[in-house]
């Protein structure tokens, strides 16, 4: 049976595919008249979130909270989703969105309602991802001011966390333009009461964007604090090395003076010259040690 014949029923407006084969994509293209450029974008992973309008449908690209790509073909009375797996092999789970659609009256289950259920669930997943990111930032902040982890391990954690946050931002930020285009009624299937629902999704996405910016600032502060602590530790090491060098300077100076091979030196024939020189070295070293110790340089 052709797929389009299934759309006659009120419960079959949403066709979902996971990593379809070229043959399955070809069948979907033939059944729904999908634009070749949009189908080509489906086969090329890593597309930027976007909305493209074609003659008989719209093509929308979004990313789930785990950064797996979700492609939507939006017709007047049908929706086709193509879900792709991320680097970890996971893909977006539409179970919650489908359950929301099932709870909707079949006569009111328009294409716009389905699109809203999908996008709303995707944006809700962003909050879950941001909660995990916040926990990670708190753990990094505790590690920055603690001594539990080594320097290299902490630097690696900072690098991985910043890179993940940047990647997440690149997949989320462009979705604002997509939702703004939907609110401008650029997709005819998204209209009426659905626009009010889309406005709510747009507001949630703005909160997500603000939270991402806050997390970026916190991450930047953690990096700055880490660099400041490293600098302070280096300064402390330099102070200690300088203090020990100053302590040895007095003794070295006395030993150098009395080690010169001049024939006429005042103390060379003095009976107590040797113990006097040693005592003077010890006195200078002890005085310097007490001084630097009080200044917390040692």
> What are the structural domain ranges in the chain?
3-231, 232-294
Q: Which of 215, 62, 61 is nearest to 125 (CA)?
A: 62
Q: Which of 191, 204, 17 is nearest to 120 (CA)?
A: 204
What does the alpha-carbon distance between residue 61 and residue 48 come to, in Å, rounded to a whole number? 7
- Is the backbone of residue 245 left (phi > 0), alpha (psi -120 to 50) or beta? alpha
Please tell me the CATH code under which domain 3-231 is placed.
Answer: 1.20.58.340
Looking at residue 3, what is its pLDDT? 45
Looking at residue 108, what is its pLDDT? 55
In the predicted structure, residue 71 carries a pLDDT above the cut 70: yes
Distances (CA, A) of 104 to 15, 124, 230: 17, 19, 58
Instruction: Please state at what angle helix 273-294 crosses helix 193-258, rounded to 10 degrees.
Output: 160
pLDDT digits 0-9 by tens, 30-63: 888 899 999 998 888 888 899 999 988 999 999 9
Looking at residue 106, what is its pLDDT? 57
| Cβ contacts of 50 within 8 Å, gap of 6 or more | 60, 61, 174, 177, 178
Looking at residue 149, what is its pLDDT? 57
Looking at residue 201, what is its pLDDT? 92
pLDDT digits 0-9 by tens, 217-256: 888 777 777 777 777 778 888 888 888 888 888 888 888 8
Top-confidence residue, 152 or 284 = 284
The DSSP element (H or E) to which 254 belongs, if any, is helix 193-258
* Residue 206 contacts residue 124 (beta carbons within 8 Å): no
The Cβ-side half-sphere exposure at 265, using a 13 Å CA radius, reads 12
Looking at residue 230, what is its pLDDT? 76
Q: What is the pTM of this model?
A: 0.74
| Cβ contacts of 212 within 8 Å, gap of 6 or more | 130, 165, 168, 169, 172, 173
In the predicted structure, residue 141 carries a pLDDT above the cut 80: no
Looking at residue 1, what is its pLDDT? 35
What kind of fold does domain 232-294 have according to CATH? Methane Monooxygenase Hydroxylase; Chain G, domain 1 (1.20.58)
In the predicted structure, residue 10 carries a pLDDT above the cut 60: no
pLDDT band at 105 (very low <50, low <70, confident <90, very high): low
What does the alpha-carbon distance between residue 199 and residue 205 come to, in Å, rounded to a whole number? 10
């Amino acid at each position: 049976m052709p797929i389009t014949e299934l759309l006659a029923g009120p419960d079959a407006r949403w066709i979902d595919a996971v990593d379809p084969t070229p043959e399955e994509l070809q069948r979907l293209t033939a059944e729904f008249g999908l634009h070749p450029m949009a189908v080509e974008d489906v086969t090329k992973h890593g597309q930027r979130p976007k909305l493209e309008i074609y003659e008989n449908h719209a093509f929308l690209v979004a990313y789930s909270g785990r950064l797996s790509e979700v492609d939507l073909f939006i017709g007047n009375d049908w929706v086709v989703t193509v879900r792709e797996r991320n680097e970890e092999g996971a893909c977006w789970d539409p179970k919650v969105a489908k359950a929301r659609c099932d709870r909707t009256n079949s006569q009111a289950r328009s294409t716009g309602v389905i699109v809203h259920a999908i996008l709303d669930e995707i944006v809700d997943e962003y909050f879950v991802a941001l909660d995990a990111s916040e926990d990670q930032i708190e753990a990094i902040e505790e590690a920055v001011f603690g001594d539990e982890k080594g320097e290299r391990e902490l630097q690696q954690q900072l690098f991985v966390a910043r890179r993940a946050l940047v990647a997440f931002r690149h997949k989320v930020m462009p979705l604002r333009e997509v939702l703004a285009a939907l609110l401008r009624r650029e997709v005819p299937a998204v209209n009426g009461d659905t626009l009010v629902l889309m406005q709510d999704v747009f507001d949630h996405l703005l909160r997500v964007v603000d939270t991402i910016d806050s997390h970026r600032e916190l991450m930047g502060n953690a990096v700055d604090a880490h660099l400041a602590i490293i600098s302070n530790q280096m300064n402390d090491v330099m102070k200690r090395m300088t203090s020990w060098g100053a302590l040895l300077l007095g003794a070295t100076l006395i030993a150098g003076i009395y080690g010169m091979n001049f024939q006429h030196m005042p103390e060379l024939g003095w009976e107590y010259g040797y113990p006097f020189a040693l005592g003077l070295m010890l006195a200078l070293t002890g005085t310097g040690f007490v001084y630097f110790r009080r200044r917390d340089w040692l």
